[in-house]
Each structure stands twice: as structure tokens, then as C-alpha cells.
């Protein structure tokens, strides 16, 4: 049983007459449903953050590979800009710079 099935099962067992009365089984089930839904939403946020961090790690690995592979490659990072030579990529966002350099292989 996955979490969505558990939430559905718990909801089906909540009696609408008692879900707001502390001490009843329906109240406890409703509290569990709300907690599980909150955790499920937080899990989605963390999954998106994890994907963003994995993409950033790939970008950094790629920029490191470019710097090691290109003899005489010169990287400058100043005032929020990065320039890669010999590719000549200049942009205010390092992610865009790295993505552009990855595409210029």
C-alpha cells in the first residue's frame, strides 16, 4: 500500500459526524490524513529540490571537465558574471553559462 492508498483508506474510515471531536477514532484518522498529506506535499518539494541540486552538480562537473579539457581555457568570475574562453560565453547566471558551455561541446 502506498501513501496515496493509505490516505484514501483513512478518509473512507472517517465519520463526518465525529471528525472534529477530539478523542474519537474519526478525529484521530482525520489528524493522520492531514499529517500524511502535509508530508506528501513536503516530499514533492524535496523531490524538486533534489532534482535542481542534481542538475547543479552535473553543471559543475561539466564546467570542471571543460576547464581541464581545454588547454588555455580561462575562467573568470567577477561581479556576478562568468566568462569561459575559448567559448566566449558571457552571462549573468552561472547556470545559463554552464548550460551554454555544455551545448557548445
If asked whether residues 77 and 50 sit together in one domain, one would say no
Q: Does residue 48 register a pLDDT over 80?
A: yes
If asked whether residues 60 and 77 sit together in one domain, one would say no
If asked whether residues 79 and 34 sit together in one domain, one would say no
If asked whether residues 7 and 55 sit together in one domain, one would say yes
If asked whether residues 65 and 77 sit together in one domain, one would say no
If asked whether residues 54 and 97 sit together in one domain, one would say no
If asked whether residues 9 and 56 sit together in one domain, one would say yes
How many domains, the chain? 2
Q: Does residue 79 register a pLDDT over 50?
A: no
Contact between 83 and 75 (Cβ < 8 Å): yes
Average pLDDT, the chain: 78
Lowest average pLDDT, out of 4-18, 29-43, 58-72, goes to 58-72
If asked whether residues 31 and 58 sit together in one domain, one would say yes
Query: Which residues form the domain of 103?
Result: 72-105
Average pLDDT over residues 9-30: 93
According to DSSP, residue 82 is labeled E
Average pLDDT over residues 87-92: 50
User: Which residue bears the cell 478518509?
Assistant: 11
Model confidence band, residue 61 (pLDDT cutoffs 50, 70, 90): confident
- Tell me, what's the pLDDT at 99? 73
If asked whether residues 45 and 9 sit together in one domain, one would say yes
If asked whether residues 7 and 58 sit together in one domain, one would say yes
Dist CA 30 CA 13 (whole Å): 9
- Tell me, what's the pLDDT at 67? 61
Q: 88's torsion region: left (phi>0), alpha (psi -120 to 50) or beta?
A: left
If asked whether residues 50 and 7 sit together in one domain, one would say yes
pTM passes above 0.85: no
Amino acid at each position: 500500500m502506498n501513501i496515496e492508498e493509505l490516505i484514501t483508506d483513512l478518509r473512507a474510515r472517517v465519520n463526518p459526524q465525529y471528525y472534529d471531536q477530539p478523542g474519537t477514532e474519526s478525529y484521530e484518522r482525520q489528524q493522520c490524513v492531514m499529517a500524511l498529506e502535509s508530508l506528501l506535499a513536503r516530499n514533492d518539494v524535496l523531490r524538486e529540490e533534489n532534482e535542481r541540486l542534481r542538475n547543479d552538480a552535473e553543471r559543475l562537473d561539466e564546467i570542471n571537465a571543460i576547464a581541464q579539457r581545454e588547454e588555455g581555457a580561462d575562467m573568470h568570475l567577477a561581479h556576478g558574471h562568468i566568462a569561459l574562453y575559448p567559448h566566449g560565453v558571457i552571462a549573468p547566471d552561472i547556470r545559463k553559462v554552464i548550460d551554454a558551455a555544455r551545448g557548445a561541446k
